[in-house]
Amino acid sequence: MKFAVITFPGSNCDQDAYHAAKDVLGQQAEYIWHKDTDLKGADVVILPGGFAHGDYLRCGAMARFSPVMQSVQAFAAKGGPVLGICNGFQVLLEAGLLPGAMLRNRSLKFQCEHVDVRVEQTDTPFTGACRVGQVLRIPIAHGEGNYFAEPAVIARLEANRQVVFRYSTPDGRVTDASNVNGSAANIAGLCSERRNVVGLMPHPERACESILGSADGLVLFESVLQWVRSAESLALQPARSASV
Amino acid sequence: MRARVFVTLKPSVFDPQGRTIAEALHSLGYQNVDDVRQGKYFELDLATTEASQARALAAEVADKLLANPVIESYRIEVES
């Protein structure tokens, strides 16, 4: 299985994502420069964290004009799994692949710390190996992760079960005190209506080895590996039945 | 022709920076400053001499890029 890690000018977590995919998960991984349009046959696309295009204008605002985003849009439209981490999540919001926008953190500070997030949905490519209610301890590192959408949009997200991760206490209670940045409904991560595009502010790729303080983030990568393999086996079935 | 575009958070969106600035002003003794909203300001030099065209063009680029309609609204002034 192959991961494409998109590198924008100003991305700085592309190497962490590459390391998680290649060295920890043991899969193929390739960097794709933002001016390229060929995803090199990747099964999964990761938009990594950082400060794409210097976060000029708004976080993620300029990245949507990078040529590679046309290919990412087309990949997502075909149902391909796309994961946006931190700045990558902001890019997905600005590109309209996920609804809503980010505001400055409630604290007005750039927050860099391990937080607890509760897994709300397991029928996405990136959470299939999780349990509903499982709490992952993974780091955040952002100044603008305060998720906002109009109440009607939040209601639609809840009705469609598109809230995938919420900031919670270590025992999985969703409280205002555990809402690290003031996000609407404690939202830490979302999926698209079709569920194949997932964005989250915390950094699972920085929490894939216990030497880094937590290996809780690895389950997202294991999930998508499992998802791609089962999608492949499903795709093979018609061919098999046809040959019988 | 020059157009000015002022982008601010929508009234329904909390502006933590504006609130903090208002609180700072209060601590400086400016109790009569009720509220502050922080925003962005753009000057566009446009290749047109027609005010209505300039306004339409400024609105188009504000909609497409300068403002994020999920959280922001904008106001345009066209220099005569």
Q: How confident is the model at residue A231 (pLDDT cuts 50, 70, 90)?
A: confident
CB neighbour list of residue B64: distance below 8 Å, 6 or more residues apart: none
Nearest-by-CA chain A residue for B40 = A57
Contact assignment for B70 to A57 by CB distance below 8 Å: no
CA dist., res. A72 & res. B47, Å (int): 34
Residue in chain B closest to A181 (alpha carbons) equals: B16
Spell out which residues of chain B touch residue A146, defining contact as CB-CB under 8 Å.
Answer: 16
Strands A197-200, A82-85: pairing kind: parallel
Q: What share of chain B is helix, strand, coil (3-state, %, to 5)?
A: 35, 30, 40
- Give yes or no: A208 in active site: no
For the domain covering A2-243, report its CATH number: 3.40.50.880
Question: CA torsion, points A197, A203, A206, A208, in degrees to nearest 10?
Answer: -60
Residue-wise pLDDT tens digits, A13-50: 999 999 999 999 999 999 999 999 999 999 999 999 99
> What confidence score (pLDDT) does residue A237 get?
61
Domains parsed from chain B with CATH numbers? 2-78 (3.30.1280.10)
pLDDT at B16: 86
Q: Which residue, chain included where needed, has tokens 């090199």?
A: A40
Helices (H) then strands (E): counts for chain B: 2, 3
Question: Percent of chain B at pLDDT above 70?
Answer: 100
Interchain proximity B13–A104, CB inside 8 Å? no
> Is the confidence metric ipTM above 0.95 for this complex?
no
Q: Give just the sign of the alpha carbon dihedral A76, A80, A84, A88.
A: negative
Pairing of strands A187-191, A197-200: antiparallel
Q: Verify whether residue A205 is a known catalytic residue.
A: yes
